[in-house]
Amino acid sequence: MPSQKLDEIDRMILAELQADGRMTNVELARRVGISAPPCLRRVRTLEEAGFIRGYHADVDPRELGFEVQVFAMVGLVSQAEVDLSAFENRCEAWPLVRECHMLNGEVDFILKCVAPDLRSFQRFLTEELTSAPNVASVKTSLVIRGAKDEPGIPFDVLEARLAIDA
């Protein structure tokens, strides 16, 4: 179901849940201006259609002792689909890899990694990542601090685009 088929209420529901996925259905319904039963039906429909992939707590890694965050840019020897898929599957199995994105350009993948300390990350880097099959190169950048970490999409930009297209 493309975004153009979502009505304004559906988009409001998504925006509200993106901002606060813990609110009750009653509160959500109040915020979007409909009653609770149809709101719940809409949420279930949005979930079934894949617009809502899940609900998660935004956990602070540093508060839990994960002091190190690193972006690793990975180049592979082969970019054949079977090799790309094999690397993605390997990333799924590495707990320190929190995000894995295939890129276009000089770098094949960028990984967002967390670790309790530099020694733990270095062990992962040398014993797991750089020694993995098909890995040709790895360049890492240690995060000093984050300036922005917003989930999802900017709904105000979506609404502006839809207004222009209408």
Query: Do 139 and 73 contact (CB within 8 A), yes or no?
Result: yes
The residue-averaged pLDDT of 44-73 equals: 95
Q: Which of 128, 43, 140 is nearest to 87 (CA)?
A: 128
The residue-averaged pLDDT of 102-129 equals: 97
| pLDDT for 98 beyond 60 | yes
pLDDT band at 77 (very low <50, low <70, confident <90, very high): very high
Q: Which CATH fold topology does 3-57 show? A: Arc Repressor Mutant, subunit A (1.10.10)
Say which range, 1-10, 33-42, 121-130, has the weakest mean pLDDT: 1-10
Q: Which amino acid is at 85?
A: S
Edge-to-edge strands, sheet with 97-102: 97-102, 109-115, 68-76, 135-142
So what's the pLDDT on residue 165? Answer: 81
Q: Which of 72, 62, 124 is nearest to 94 (CA)?
A: 124
pLDDT band at 44 (very low <50, low <70, confident <90, very high): very high
So what's the pLDDT on residue 1? Answer: 37
Measure the CA–CA gap between 159 and 157, rounded to whole angstroms. 5
Cα 148 to its chain centre, rounded Å, is 14
CATH code of the domain made up of 62-142:
3.30.70.920
End-to-end CA distance of the chain: give it in Å, rounded. Answer: 18
Q: How confident is the prediction for the chain on average, in pLDDT? A: 94
Kindly list the domain boundaries of the chain, sorted by start residue: 3-57, 62-142
- Proportion of the chain above pLDDT 90, given as a percent: 87
Measure the CA–CA gap between 37 and 11, rounded to whole angstroms. 17
Query: Do 124 and 96 contact (CB within 8 A), yes or no?
Result: yes
pLDDT band at 5 (very low <50, low <70, confident <90, very high): confident
pLDDT band at 4 (very low <50, low <70, confident <90, very high): low
With a CB cutoff of 8 Å and minimum separation 6, the contacts of 141 are 70, 71, 73
| pLDDT for 80 beyond 50 | yes
Query: Would you tell me the crossing angle of helices 8-19 and 155-165 to the nearest 10 degrees?
Result: 170
